[in-house]
Amino acid sequence: MRVSRLALTVWILSPWCVSWAADDPAAIEFFENRIRPVLVEHCYKCHAADADKVRGKLLLDTREATRAGGETGPAVVPGKPEKSLLLSAIKHEDLEMPPDRRLPKEVVADFEKWIRAGAADPREGPAAADVVHQEIDIEAGRKFWAFQPVVHPSVPNVRDKSWPRDEIDAFVLARLEDAGLQPVAAADTETLLRRLCFDLTGLPPTVEQRARFERATAANVTSAVVDLVDELLDSPAFGERWGRHWLDVARYGESNGNSRNATFPYAWRYRDYVIQAFNRDTPYDEFIQQQIAGDLLPAPSVDERNRNLIATGFLALGSKPVIRGGNGKGFIPDVAADQIEVTMRGILGMTVFCARCHDHKFDPIPTTDYYALAGIFASSQTLYGGSRGNMGGAPATGFHVLASRDAGEVKAYEDWKKRLANLQKRQREVGREVKKLRPRKKGAAPKNPQKYDQLLAEQKEIAKELKKLQQDRVEPPGQAMGIAEGDKVTEVPVYVRGEKASGPPIPRHFLTVAYEGEMPSLPPDSSGRLELAQWLTSPSNPLAARVIVNRIWSHLFGEGLVRTVDNFGVNGDRPTHPELLDYLAAEFVANDWSMKRFIKRLVLTRTYQLSSAHQDKNYEADPDNLLLWRHPRWRLEAEAIRDAILTASGQLDLTPPQGSVVESRGEVLIQDKLTPDTFHQPSNHRSVYLPILRNGLPEMLEVFDLGDPSLVVGKRDTTTVPSQDLYLMNSPFVIEQAQHFARLLQAEAKDDGSRIELAYLRALGRQPTDPERQRAASFLAMSREALEKNTADTDQRLTDAWASLCQALFVSAEFRYLR
Amino acid sequence: MFSRRQVLKTVSSGFGYVAMAGLCAEQTRAGFSSPLLPKRPHFEPKAKRVIFMCMRGAPGQTDTFDYKPRDRKVISSNITPKSKGKYSGKGPAGSVVPFSQYGKSGLWIADSMPNLGQHADDLCLVNSMHTDLPNHPQSYLMLHTGDFRFARPSVGAWTLYGLGTENQNLPGFISINAETRVGGAQNYGSAFLPAIYQGTPIGHVGAEMSEAGIRNVNCKHLPANLQRRQIDLVQETNRELLEASQVDTQLEGVIESLELGFRMQTSVSEVLDVSRESESTLERYNVGKTKAVGRCRDDDFGRQCLMARRLAEAGVRYIEVCHSNWDQHGNHVKEITANGQAIDKPIAALIQDLKDRDMLKDTLIVWGGEFGRTPLSNENGGSNHNNKGFSFFLCGGGVQGGLRYGSTNDTGAVAIENKVHTHDLHATMLHLLGLDHEKLTYRYAGRDFRLTDVYGHVVHDIIA
């Protein structure tokens, strides 16, 4: 037997070894007295066949199992302490065992001695593999609600037949009636107007919109609301609002963040793509397919082709780690990890990420599923840029080159690129030949002097031509981050703890538990992204539709029916209205995955149009509004607050900007003097267009909870902290907008009374109450007086006084809350 | 005792607001409660606050706190596995600057830091630090967040999440002279923890500390009394809205936080205004000293230490200061000596002031960088990166003074005895603050995350 012979050799050669052989009774005695008790006391709890849960697939209760080892390799190699993971673990070198304490030094020394001497071990029994293969039970896992096929449930009966306006309302009312609760009354039209405008476009109603809506509701409330909703859904502002919701999920950022904050100059194209997709009402299934495999989809026109390429930016935008050591190891797997995370959590609400290191502890997702998906991305090539070593040694990549309608422009670029590639290829060939012929010693003659000189001359010529070609660089018509097919299909093995490869490559496939029927094998000559994209959005996939309807619901009702919008797993919340969720998912798919139509239907329900009034009885029974007895009150998102300030001050520029500030700076590192602040120049465009730099967000958006753009964020935090108030009280942006607001009031209204009225209308979307009028007037008078010392310029003083009132409106809670 | 809503209804003057805020700070009743209020730790803490002195660039351990005389026969290949080519040198390697012993404990400290030496018996030198990688960007993030691959919360953010903070009028986590490279804001970010736990920066590396402050705390556009009236006007409307809304904890929160913001304008300006200190204090902290090494002015680091003291006194939970000139690839001896001189007086003054205020016992000072350096054999050389062995010192906050813990090999390059990983340092820092690093978890994306991931051991041996 190989192992024991090896042990014996070591024994003979090692002068420091005690003098017994592996099966020597003395050796067995040493094991029984010094080793076995330690194993029993400190290891068996997790590493014995009768353990509650065997950790790391390692058993230490038989000789064979101990030598076979677990996930990370053999625990004991007789005679080789340095190769025995058990010893390294109890020394707390790499692994650290036992996890809660260190064994005394003498005990560690005993183990070293024992292993060096051949690791005598009388314990018979099978090796680990036979016992420990604790498979995740996929079939049992399928019984979990989220993996069950979506069914179209029947609409429940309700007692109050007059209340439901839509079948959706019946689902809500049925639950309320069961609980003995009554929904509150409908919101008044003023509240509804503000709610609809912010929810659908992220902007407050304009004074004109308000007047129009008032007239229309006087005639017919229902048709007025429908018309308003249609108008809002048709406006470009709709995509700017709802696109931003998706950008949160897509962890959109325009720089890398992490430890090397390189800019992503073309990321903005993805942002614009998303906004346009919402405005165009791209069906959600197509929207997803474009983002996962746009490069592989047929596209009849240049525009469609470009759109599809840009869409794949979804997979390239993630924050990437600086690579280890500089040899590229670890980089591709980390990029794939981000891609798996954004795809699985963003689209399916599944935390597959956990299965990178071990079988998922809660959900029926084995590591093999993770590495099956990793194979799909490893067989693709991510185009993130990273030139000039900006990504800290990560291999630089190109971008998707966008087509242009001007064929000549494209051809010029393609020709240039081809010339460059040919020249570079020739340069490498010549270089190799020169190296072959180069004399070994300095001064010696080369093997073939004539050819050698000829090659050298050619080398010079190539260098000259290359330089010229670089100078006459032809810029591509446009570039975009994204993903393309890789050079070859690469299937990857499971990496135990995410670090150490073990076993054969895993065939690429999808999430087993969510796949209905036999898993197909993916084509051997392509990455499988196209098939992944189709599976994600196939009607048989139980998750995609549920997850997106829940996301949309959460943006209109404050919370999702599943409150953990990014997690539909065992650790996530259960749906408060499971039948309603299925009903919505089924209806959504039946209506061609149209997000606009779905949103329209939701906002026209009675449930959506409830007031946010308090009601004692309901509040006692259901303080969290799980049963939807009222509309929630919530704080506006950062973008909406900023856009509302610019709207009130009359400064908002509704035209989208061309590109992004980040593009104009090119591929650079954000550091030292090139701080994020140098990118954040004053802008009157909508907030969705501000540069979203990782580790350097626009101040206002950060203060109001934009969140970390490296992470999938389906639901933002809403914090209430003084930095928000201080921003509204003292930031140059707010102070400046208050000045604009003041000048606008002075210009557009003649007397103080109508100016105050206009101020309230523009800022809060309502008339001031009488006490408010009085308070504002007396504050204004006081402000004029207090500012007398500030400036001699009486006009400016007057504007300042008005600005102090305008700012008070910006600071007020009502300004940033929606009810 | 009357309810807060009653207070809100009855109070109308500015004075009343302050009284109300006092009430709110002790709130225990249901309803709005700031997540930054002090929280009970897992067990009795030794330290109440942390001052982390980050030495960016990786200080050479053998020329600061790990004395390795070079009078031995050591072959060059021993220096470190990473050390080759021009860095390898020949002959014995070790300390290339003079050292002396200080205090009863006789700790060896480089001669550039005689004032710090006076506090030797309060210092705990950890000579056996090690970390995963010898690259600045990764290891700097590792030191600050425990991870270098993904966006994770910083140590300060975890601390705030676990303990809240004592002074609600100031941010609970402040990073002075924050780095712009190597992870930038991620080093004091909150990642998936709620944003309120992230650090507030004061200035950044390369900026003048004398001009650095916290954004938006100075009201320049309105006279102070007018701004108060402006806030009164707002609060009156807010209260009416609250009354109309009946129950609305979020709105209560806004009303409260607005008052807090208003007060912070005064409290922040006051606490950061070092000109209130006496001449002799300023001198002890090197304030006004124009000498510079690299991009670090002595005055800047002195101000940072003085601010750190003032912030600690005011009840800020976690304070980081940064000296960013420790990457001595060339000119090693001259620069590392100048660095020692730059930090010597201010740190000594800070320790002394904390002692005088009886605050050293519960203020944990942590000094160190992202990793260490290769020891030199030739004083004319430059040193290279080394993650296998380096030194930290801890002081106050329940650690044993006058202790040298762990050791490196003969050259000072590789930690060999009682090794302490960055994760272990984090576990120990949390432990001193009364937090169990395995229990301080946050559920994100379906799993419980912690600062130390699946690693980290508390170094009990250094705890007093």
pLDDT tens digits, A484-534: 999 999 998 888 766 677 788 999 999 888 888 888 889 999 999 999 999
Asked if A324 contacts A392 with a C-beta cutoff of 8 angstroms, the reply is no
Residue A790 in this model has a pLDDT that exceeds 80: no
User: Is A227 buried (19+), middle (13-18) or exposed (0-12) by CB count in 10 A?
Assistant: middle
Please tell me if residue B82 touches chain A, with a CB cutoff of 8 Å. no
pLDDT at residue B77, rounded to an integer:
43
B446 closest CB neighbour out of A92, A571, A696 = A571
pLDDT at residue A93, rounded to an integer:
76
Beta strands in A358-397 (DSSP E): 380-383
Place of tokens 């799980």: A626
Query: SS3 for A166?
Result: coil
Task: Give CA separation, B354 vs A77, B125, B209, B316, in Å.
Answer: 54, 19, 22, 14
Residue A351 in this model has a pLDDT that exceeds 70: yes
Contact B445 A353 (CB under 8 A): yes
Averaged over A306-333, what is the pLDDT? Answer: 80
pLDDT at residue B238, rounded to an integer:
93
Please tell me if residue B39 touches chain A, with a CB cutoff of 8 Å. no
Q: A728 CA to chain B: closest CA distance, Å?
A: 9
Report the mean per-residue pLDDT for chain A. Answer: 88
Contact A325 B233 (CB under 8 A): no
Alpha helices, H only, A235-266: 236-249
Residues lower than pLDDT 70 in chain B: 1-33, 71-91
Residues in B touching A89 (Cβ below 8 Å)? none
Please tell me if residue B251 touches chain A, with a CB cutoff of 8 Å. yes
Place of tokens 């740190």: B347
Bond from prior residue into A98 cis (ω within 30 degrees of 0): yes
Q: A89 CA to chain B: closest CA distance, Å?
A: 13
Nearest CA in chain B to A702: B195
Residues in A touching B195 (Cβ below 8 Å)? 702, 705, 707, 717, 719, 721
A488 residue type, one letter:
K
Residue A725 in this model has a pLDDT that exceeds 60: yes
Contact B216 A731 (CB under 8 A): yes
Tokens representing residue A63 in the block: 């000789």
Between A453 and B450, the more confident residue is B450
Please give the Cα distance from B303 to B321 (Å, whole number): 10
Please give the Cα distance from A203 to A210 (Å, whole number): 13
CA-based Rg of chain B, rounded to a whole angstrom?
24
Q: A786 CA to chain B: closest CA distance, Å?
A: 7
Report which secondary-structure segment, H or E, holds A117: none
Buried b (16+ CB within 10 A) or exposed e, A626-661: bbbbbbebbbbbbbbbbbbbbbbbbebeeebeebbb
Residue A5 in this model has a pLDDT that exceeds 80: no
Place of tokens 């002799």: B280
Please give the Cα distance from B441 to B445 (Å, whole number): 13
Contact B258 A258 (CB under 8 A): no
- CB A774: neighbour CB atoms within 10 A? 12
Contact B233 A776 (CB under 8 A): yes
Please give the Cα distance from A343 to A514 (Å, whole number): 14
Contact A790 B455 (CB under 8 A): no
Interface probe with B: pick from A635, A723, A799, most Cβ of B within 10 Å? A723
Residues in A touching B150 (Cβ below 8 Å)? 319, 321, 710
User: In the 8-state DSSP scheme, what is residue A523?
Assistant: P
Task: Give CA separation, A116 vs A34, A112, A235, in Å.
Answer: 14, 6, 77
Report which secondary-structure segment, H or E, holds A484: strand A482-485
Q: B226 CA to chain A: closest CA distance, Å?
A: 7
Nearest CA in chain B to A572: B446
| CB contact set of A387 (below 8 Å; sequence gap of 6+) | A396, A667
Q: B130 CA to chain A: closest CA distance, Å?
A: 11
Residue A479, strand partner residues: A401
The closest alpha carbon to A233, from A466, A503, A552, belongs to: A552
Task: Give CA separation, A614 vs A557, A593, A622, B235, B248, in Å.
Answer: 16, 35, 11, 21, 9
Please give the Cα distance from A44 to A355 (Å, whole number): 25
pLDDT at residue B15, rounded to an integer:
33
Residues in B touching A633 (Cβ below 8 Å)? 245, 248, 250-251
Please tell me if residue B114 touches chain A, with a CB cutoff of 8 Å. no
Q: Count of H helices and E strands in chain A?
A: 35, 8
Interface probe with A: pick from B12, B208, B222, B449, most Cβ of A within 10 Å? B222
- CB A701: neighbour CB atoms within 10 A? 21
Digit-coded pLDDT (tens) for B170-227: 889 999 988 877 888 889 988 888 777 888 888 878 778 888 888 899 999 999 899 9
User: Is A250 buried (19+), middle (13-18) or exposed (0-12) by CB count in 10 A?
Assistant: buried
CA-based end-to-end distance of chain A: 78
Residues of chain B numbered 261-320 and touching chain A (CB < 8 Å): 261-262, 264-265
A193 residue type, one letter:
L
- CB A88: neighbour CB atoms within 10 A? 18
The three-point CA angle A365-A368-A372 to 5° equals: 105
Residues in B touching A699 (Cβ below 8 Å)? 215
Contact A321 B150 (CB under 8 A): yes
Task: Give CA separation, B69 vs A396, B2, B99, B368, in Å.
Answer: 45, 70, 9, 22
pLDDT at residue A67, rounded to an integer:
86
Please give the Cα distance from A481 to A400 (Å, whole number): 6
Q: A771 CA to chain B: closest CA distance, Å?
A: 10
pLDDT at residue A126, rounded to an integer:
67
Residue A14 in this model has a pLDDT that exceeds 60: no
Asked if B231 contacts A616 with a C-beta cutoff of 8 angstroms, the reply is no
Interface probe with A: pick from B254, B388, B442, B457, most Cβ of A within 10 Å? B254
Please tell me if residue B224 touches chain A, with a CB cutoff of 8 Å. no
pLDDT at residue A99, rounded to an integer:
79
> What is the DSSP secondary-structure string of A567-620?
--STTSPPPSSHHHHHHHHHHHHHTTT-HHHHHHHHHTSTTTTB-----HHHHH
Digit-coded pLDDT (tens) for A433-446: 888 888 877 777 77
pLDDT at residue A389, rounded to an integer:
74
Between chain A and chain B, the number of residue pairs with CB atoms below 8 A apart is: 217
Report which secondary-structure segment, H or E, holds A401: strand A400-401
Report which secondary-structure segment, H or E, holds A539: none
Residues in B touching A571 (Cβ below 8 Å)? 443, 446-447
pLDDT at residue B250, rounded to an integer:
80
Asked if A177 contacts A732 with a C-beta cutoff of 8 angstroms, the reply is no
Digit-coded pLDDT (tens) for A695-711: 889 999 988 988 789 88
Please tell me if residue B186 touches chain A, with a CB cutoff of 8 Å. yes
Side-chain-side CA neighbours of A251 within 13 Å: the count stands at: 28
Digit-coded pLDDT (tens) for A224-259: 999 999 999 999 999 999 999 999 999 999 999 887
Interface probe with A: pick from B34, B233, B238, most Cβ of A within 10 Å? B233
Q: What is the sign, positive or negative, of the torsion defined by CA atoms of A666, A669, A673, A676?
A: positive
Please tell me if residue B248 touches chain A, with a CB cutoff of 8 Å. yes
Report which secondary-structure segment, H or E, holds A480: strand A479-480
Residues in B touching A741 (Cβ below 8 Å)? none
Digit-coded pLDDT (tens) for A743-765: 999 999 999 999 999 999 999 99
Averaged over A569-596, what is the pLDDT? Answer: 95
pLDDT at residue B16, rounded to an integer:
30
Q: B224 CA to chain A: closest CA distance, Å?
A: 10
Q: Minimum mean pLDDT among A227-236, A347-356, A746-755, A804-813: which range?
A: A347-356
Tokens representing residue A272 in the block: 């614009």
Report which secondary-structure segment, H or E, holds A818: strand A817-818
Nearest CA in chain A to B246: A614
Residue A326 in this model has a pLDDT that exceeds 50: no
Q: ipTM for the complex?
A: 0.79
Please give the Cα distance from A539 to A290 (Å, whole number): 17
Tokens representing residue A276 in the block: 């346009």
Residues of chain B numbered 141-180 and touching chain A (CB < 8 Å): 141, 148-151, 171, 180
Query: What HEC string does chain B produce?
Result: CCCHHHHHHHCCCHHHHHHHHHHHHCCCCCCCCCCCCCCCCCCCCCCCEEEEEEECCCCCHHHCCCCCCCCCCCCHHHCCCCCCHHHCCCCCCECCCCEEEECCCCEEEECCCHHHHCCHHHEEEEEEEECCCCCHHHHHHHHHHCCCCCCCCCHHHHHHHHHCCCCCCCCCEEEEEECCCCCHHHHHCCCCCCHHHCCEEEEECCCCHHHCCCCCCCCCCCCHHHHHHHHHHHHHHHHHHHHHHCCCHHHHHHHHHHHHHHHHHHHHHHHHCHHHCCHHHHHHCCCCCCCEECCEEHHHHHHHHHHHHHHHHCCCCEEEEEECCCCCCCCHHHHHHHHHHHHHHHHHHHHHHHHHCCCHHHEEEEEECCCEECCECCCCCCCCEECCCEEEEEECCCECCCEEECEECCCCCCEEECCEEHHHHHHHHHHHCCCCCCCCEEEECCEEEECCCCCCCCCHHHEC
Place of tokens 């980081």: B320
Q: How confident is the model at residue A33 (pLDDT cuts 50, 70, 90)?
A: confident
The three-point CA angle B420-B122-B291 to 5° equals: 90
Q: What is the sign, positive or negative, of the torsion defined by CA atoms of A278, A282, A288, A294?
A: negative
pLDDT at residue A763, rounded to an integer:
96
Q: B8 CA to chain A: closest CA distance, Å?
A: 15
Nearest CA in chain B to A801: B222
pLDDT at residue A515, rounded to an integer:
86
Please give the Cα distance from B61 to B387 (Å, whole number): 11
Residues in A touching B190 (Cβ below 8 Å)? 708
The closest alpha carbon to A207, from A577, A744, A719, belongs to: A744
pLDDT at residue A498, rounded to an integer:
67
Backbone dihedral region of A619: left (phi > 0), alpha (psi from -120 to 50 degrees) or beta? alpha
Report which secondary-structure segment, H or E, holds A817: strand A817-818
pLDDT at residue B368, rounded to an integer:
97
The closest alpha carbon to A85, from A72, A103, A102, belongs to: A72
In chain A, what percentage of residues exceed pLDDT 70? 94
